[in-house]
Amino acid sequence: MSKLYFKYGAMGSSKTAQALMCKFNYEQKGFKVYLFKPKSDNRTIVDGQAVVSSRIGLKSKCNEFDCQDDFFKLCEKYDIKGEREVIIVDECQFLTKRQVNELKDISLNMPVLCYGLLTNFKTELFEGSKRLIEIADSIMEIKSICKCGRKATVNARLVDGKIATSGEEISIGADELYESMCYACYKEKLENQNKK
Ligand SMILES: [Zn+2]
């Protein structure tokens, strides 16, 4: 029986590269892979075509979804039937709870692999990630390293070099606005900036 997978990691943990390598691997074995990403990420439209691209240079065309989309309908639209087919979702933290529920049902017929962040810059679970933790059949952490060498677990948002602790969950901006760090470094930086 196929499964719903959740593979999460902090920013810069090569999640997207791993999603693309997974796609390549399935395709080599003759599977058809449908790659999805949320529409909110508008940095990766190339010549009008949505593209998933990783920092280490891998990229692939993809389909987009927004929070209104119904994955059963998307399966009809793209003629996804399940036989030797796979769905991969990048930036899956932006799935809604309802969409994760849909993917869970779809995963009864085909593998569904979701790659994304666990928590937002306030160290709170994203809606999609929370639901995936609750109902995914397989949960795997993709590890990355803090400057100090410990495991990075916090996705800090930096505004003018300072850690932000409030604001909207989604801000349109460049990657350099975020830094993944371990909780000890996060707490230390937060305390230092509050002293000033
Ligand atoms: Zn650290």
Give the domain ranges of the chain: 4-142
Whole-number Å distance, alpha carbon 189 to ligand 1 midpoint, is 10
What pLDDT is stored for residue 49 in this prediction? 82
pLDDT band with cut points at 50, 70 and 90 for residue 78: very high
Residue 163 pLDDT more than 60? yes
The answer to whether the CB of 137 falls within 8 A of the CB of 109 is no
Q: Average model confidence (pLDDT) for the chain?
A: 92
Let me know if 169 is a catalytic residue. no
The answer to whether the CB of 83 falls within 8 A of the CB of 111 is no
pLDDT band with cut points at 50, 70 and 90 for residue 5: very high
What pLDDT is stored for residue 44 in this prediction? 62
Whole-number Å distance, alpha carbon 190 to ligand 1 midpoint, is 13
Q: Match domain 4-142 to its CATH number in 3.40.50.12280, 3.30.70.3000, 3.40.50.970, 3.40.50.300.
A: 3.40.50.300
Whole-number Å distance, alpha carbon 151 to ligand 1 midpoint, is 7
Distance CA 44, CA 153 (A): 25
The pLDDT > 90 percentage for the chain reads: 75
What pLDDT is stored for residue 166 in this prediction? 86
**Choice among 27, 64, 91, 141 that is catalytic:** 91
Whole-number Å distance, alpha carbon 147 to ligand 1 midpoint, is 6
Whole-number Å distance, alpha carbon 180 to ligand 1 midpoint, is 9
Residue 74 pLDDT more than 80? yes
The answer to whether the CB of 6 falls within 8 A of the CB of 133 is yes
Q: C-alpha angle with apex 35: 33 to 39, nearest 5 degrees?
A: 165
Distance CA 131, CA 177 (A): 26
What pLDDT is stored for residue 12 in this prediction? 87
